[in-house]
A and B are shown apart, each in its own frame.
Chain A
Amino acid sequence: MSLTKADLASALFDEVGLNKREAKEFVDAWFETIRQALEDGDHVKLSGFGNFQLRDKNQRPGRNPKTGEEIPISARRVVTFKPGQKLRARVEAYAGSAE
């Protein structure tokens, strides 16, 4: 099973009391606000959940796995997610109960 924007919107409807339209807009605005901050070059820190960080990568040699041809992988900025202590602990607890 996987959690989607629709699930988040229905939680906002059930638990916070937003109407359906407000809930859907809120979920869209939430992810858009995070995306915009990252696009602007800001790290995003959500205490208890984790941090979205940006890393600038230099150009490096790559290879087309199908043809074996060498092609450089251009320099780029990428997003990484570092889970927070609290989230790590909760996820580890799941692993414990599954075994």
Chain B
Amino acid sequence: MTKSELIERMAGEQNHLSQADVELAVRCILEQMSRALSEGDRIEIRGFGSFSLHYRPPRMGRNPRTGESVALPGKYVPHFKPGKALRERVNEGASD
């Protein structure tokens, strides 16, 4: 399911909202979530899961073309941990 399919599905259920409002709202939610993580905040959604940042320490990398060593700085990467309800539903969905 892509973002536009998700928007369509939600517009079908939220009859009181126009398609344009649904698109705006989806964009707003994704921007809030991206901004929170980019500012180092966690996201906690009960029954869905939590997003946080994991640190990757600096390491020596290699330019695959020249074989030259390059120092790569430490960085943060987004991480998602599914919540209990999501874990259970996904796993039950698999056995149906």
Q: Of residues 33 to 71 in B, which have CB atoms within 8 Å of A's CB atoms?
A: 33-34, 36-51, 53, 55
A6 to B39, CA, bound (A): 18
Bound complex: CA A43 to CA B79 (Å): 17
**Chain A nearest CB: distance from B26 CB in Å?**
7
The answer to whether A34 and B48 touch (CB under 8 A), given A8-B32, A47-B2, A91-B76, is yes
B51: chain A residues at CB < 8 Å are 81
Please encode chain A, from 39 to 70, with 1 for each CB lying within 8 Å of some chain B CB and 0 for all others.
11111111111101010100000000000000
- Which residue of the partner chain A has the closest CB to B22? A26
Chain A residues bordering chain B, tally (CB within 8 A): 58
Which chain B residues border A73 with CB–CB below 8 Å?
Answer: none
Select which of B13, B21, B53 is within 8 A of A18 by beta carbon.
B21
Interface residues on B, range: 35 or more
Residues of A within 8 A of B9 (CB): 33
A1 near B41 with CB under 8 A, answer yes
Shortest B88–chain A CB gap in Å is: 9
A-B pairs with lowest CB-CB distance, top 4 = A81-B80, A77-B94, A39-B93, A2-B42
* 9 more A-B residue pairs beyond the given contacts A7-B32, A83-B77, A90-B38, with a C-beta to C-beta distance below 8 A: A12-B29, A26-B10, A42-B1, A46-B6, A47-B3, A81-B78, A83-B78, A87-B34, A94-B53
Using a CB–CB distance below 8 Å, which chain B residues touch chain A?
A: 1-3, 6, 9-10, 13-14, 16-17, 21, 24-26, 28-30, 32-34, 36-51, 53, 55, 73-80, 82, 85-87, 89-94
